[in-house]
Structure 1
Amino acid sequence: MKAYVYGTSGAAVTDIPKPAPKGTQVLVKVHACGLNRADIGMTKGHVHGSAGGVGTVLGMEWAGEVAELGPEAKGVKVGDRIMGSGAAAFAEYTLADHGRIFRAPSNMNFDEAATLPVALATMHNAVVTNGGLQPGQSVMIQGASSGVGLMAMQIAKLKGASLVVGSSTDAYRRGRLKEFGADLAVDSSDPGWVDQVLKATNGQGVDLIVDQVSGKVASQNLAATRIKGRIVNVGRLGGARAEFNFDLHAARRIHYIGVTFRTRTIEEIREIFDEVRKDIWGAVESRKLQLPIDKVYKFDDIGKAFEHMEANKHLGKIVVTL
């Protein structure tokens, strides 16, 4: 089967054996894949969690059909339309744990379904489970123009946020954030953004920041968060190390929470998928929660898809079809 594999000369489409499901695994005939920021590093040989390096089939998000079931797999049958996340997504066939998949709604095509699993699982966990957002509270999404950022704003609105602030350093994308739930859009590369947030919250700061940027905005986030507020550290696109104002952190008594899928057990991931199904799945089926597709590429042109992502001019998801 065809797969996008990182080799000694870089990432390329090549032929590899089709995998066979074991235990609770499902074999998926992949029809579409969604690109994610973490994929960029892996195309250059970086390790992401336990995956990466020479011989790695790349990708972490897909939509397709159940082709075969492992002996302990439950909840789906051959032929079901599903979408999910997990390693080795960029291939004609991939394996997925039966608890790490969603049924693809009948009103979605595979391209649309492939945009959702990572964003739904990541941001429901960040905004609701770890962020503890309550109706009437205010929230800021740092890095709001990414696919997961756009989903975070929508989930915040769905859960009754009174104020949603989204950040983007790109003027065009910043101008479109209101289409996805932002009441205020700020430029996080301009230090004045903190004052904008404080003004919008009567000087108090937001109840919750979901941070995909970190780096130089880390201490600014502290200043923009209300006393006893929460910051959920989801990503580090602005850098994994920076100065941190520990005194401000203590003075504002902020709960600073780190999350990642890289160190979660499969049992923890199954629970996250279950929470999405229980809490917001009706909004997914009604298309209230959805993501725009920026561009679709054929699988043989996956290299061009990554060039488009690295140019960093897209809004929404980049999808590759098989």
Structure 2
Amino acid sequence: MTTTPQTMTVIATQGKGGPEVLVAETRPVPVPGVGQVLIKVAAAGVNRPDVLQRKGLYPAPKGHSELLGLEASGVVVAVGEGVSRCKPGDRVMALLNGGGYAEFAVADEVATLAVPDGLSMVEAAAIPETFFTVWHNVFERGGLVKGDWFLVHGGTSGIGVTAIQLAAATGARVIATAGSAKKCEACLALGAVRAVDYTQEDFVEAVKSETQGRGVDVILDMVGGDYVDRNIRSLADDGRLVNIGYQSGSKVTVDMMRVMLKRLTLTGSTLRIRPTEVKGAIARAVEARALPLIAKGRVKIPIDSTYPLAQAGEAHARMEGSQHIGKIVLTVG
């Protein structure tokens, strides 16, 4: 095995702003601590939180890398004290607290997963952030089960394509919203029974029509703003609304009478600040419940586009243009 170099190329943010603030720099290769592994990165997923962090709206947790990148795939090249699952040479994908936009990244061993046979490193890099997020929020917090009606907004985002497929594979009936006819076609191809072009129709009315007035059992929303009240009106009795983002604003006015009369649950989460042991528990659930669906071909990893690490700015521009269908991934080396 080759010796790990002392320095590496990373993509850093010089100030806050648009994609142009992303620049290549040389930094020391990090050293894995207790319970951590060092990964020679092959690919890194691009996610909406990366865009927010670049703009100064989503800072890295204290004590963690300030570099962007919440997920990566690659080969383990070194391990820290107390590591037992991973060894040098293992092909892994990992949820990171930051640092994925680099040639090497440190990950907590408990948040790593073996790359399944037949899966490319690009596909593997697109899994951790979205699968961890969807599994925890849709199935653990939202309690989605077979036979439920499920509504997901942003159906062709990385989160959306994952949520549609996992929910459909579980036996739920999926309604997805998207911003064009082409995107709606993609949602249907992934397993949604109804796709709503929100530029052309009201999703509240579409939900009412599709469910014969019943409403949906679980909603996964990353929009916030005026969607919150509309989501509440779209839920069935005892429905669960799970928020994981607030692209249209985090402060809203809610009619609590409707919440009380329908016995609704409003919840949400953000993954990055959760303790390591929580992420480890989610990782084991994804390992046991979601990865077998990928192995069986029941869940795909749609890749919209790939960019070399040096073109991270172009990858961010692609994401902010909201034309992508599936994941955007940076390739390293």
**TM over 0.5: same fold?**
yes
* Conserved? CA contact 1:147–1:291, under 8 Å: no
Residue 33 of structure 1 is matched in structure 2 by: 44
Helix, strand or coil: the match of 2:28?
Answer: coil
Which residue, out of 185, 193, 209, partners 1:183?
A: 193
* Conserved? CA contact 1:69–1:77, under 8 Å: yes
Helix, strand or coil: the match of 2:23?
Answer: strand
Q: How many residues align?
A: 320
Which residue, out of 157, 175, 197, partners 1:146?
A: 157
Residue 95 of structure 2 is matched in structure 1 by: 85
* Conserved? CA contact 1:123–1:151, under 8 Å: yes
How do 1:208-223 residues align onto structure 2 when only pairs under 5 Å count?
208-223=218-233
**TM superposition shift of 1:188:** 3.7
* Conserved? CA contact 1:32–1:63, under 8 Å: yes
Residue 113 in structure 1 maps to residue 142 in structure 2: no
Query: 2: CA distance between counterparts of 1:111 and 1:245?
Result: 44
Query: 1: CA distance between counterparts of 2:94 and 2:272?
Result: 16
Residue 71 of structure 1 is matched in structure 2 by: 81
Deviations 1:71-129 (A, max 9, x none): 11120110000001111110000000000011001201111111111111111111211
Scaled by the length of structure 2, what TM-score is found? 0.91
* Conserved? CA contact 2:155–2:177, under 8 Å: yes
Residue 50 in structure 1 maps to residue 61 in structure 2: yes
Residue 122 of structure 1 is matched in structure 2 by: 133
Query: 1: CA distance between counterparts of 2:251 and 2:197?
Result: 21
Query: 2: CA distance between counterparts of 1:46 and 1:218?
Result: 21
* Conserved? CA contact 2:49–2:58, under 8 Å: no
Residue 9 of structure 2 is matched in structure 1 by: 2
Query: 2: CA distance between counterparts of 1:121 and 1:262?
Result: 11
**TM superposition shift of 1:49:** 5.3
From the superposition, tell whether residues 190 and 259 of structure 1 become closer, same or farther in structure 2 (CA, over 3 Å). Answer: farther
**TM superposition shift of 1:56:** 2.2
Query: 2: CA distance between counterparts of 1:42 and 1:155?
Result: 28
How do 1:291-310 residues align onto structure 2 when only pairs under 5 Å count?
291-310=301-320
Residue 263 in structure 1 maps to residue 273 in structure 2: yes
Greater alpha carbon shift after TM alignment, 168-177 vs 99-108: 168-177
Helix, strand or coil: the match of 1:16?
Answer: strand
Residue 254 of structure 1 is matched in structure 2 by: 264
* Conserved? CA contact 1:6–1:45, under 8 Å: no
* Unpaired stretches in structure 1, ≥5 consecutive residues: none
From the superposition, tell whether residues 49 and 57 of structure 1 become closer, same or farther in structure 2 (CA, over 3 Å). Answer: closer
Query: 1: CA distance between counterparts of 2:327 and 2:205?
Result: 31
Deviations 1:127-146 (A, max 9, x none): 21111112111111122110
Greater alpha carbon shift after TM alignment, 186-195 vs 173-182: 186-195
* Conserved? CA contact 1:27–1:94, under 8 Å: yes
Deviations 1:189-248 (A, max 9, x none): 566321211121121101111112121110011111001111111221222123322221
Two-structure CA RMSD over aligned residues (Å): 1.8
Query: 2: CA distance between counterparts of 1:193 and 1:20?
Result: 49
Quick one: which amino acid aligns to residue 5 of structure 1?
Answer: A
Query: 1: CA distance between counterparts of 2:316 and 2:111?
Result: 25
Residue 326 of structure 2 is matched in structure 1 by: 316
Query: 2: CA distance between counterparts of 1:176 and 1:154?
Result: 11
* Conserved? CA contact 1:73–1:98, under 8 Å: yes
Quick one: which amino acid aligns to residue 193 of structure 2?
Answer: D
From the superposition, tell whether residues 283 and 302 of structure 1 become closer, same or farther in structure 2 (CA, over 3 Å). Answer: same
* Conserved? CA contact 2:22–2:312, under 8 Å: no
Identity percentage over the alignment? 31
* Unpaired stretches in structure 2, ≥5 consecutive residues: 1-7
* Conserved? CA contact 1:298–1:320, under 8 Å: yes
Residue 5 of structure 2 is matched in structure 1 by: none
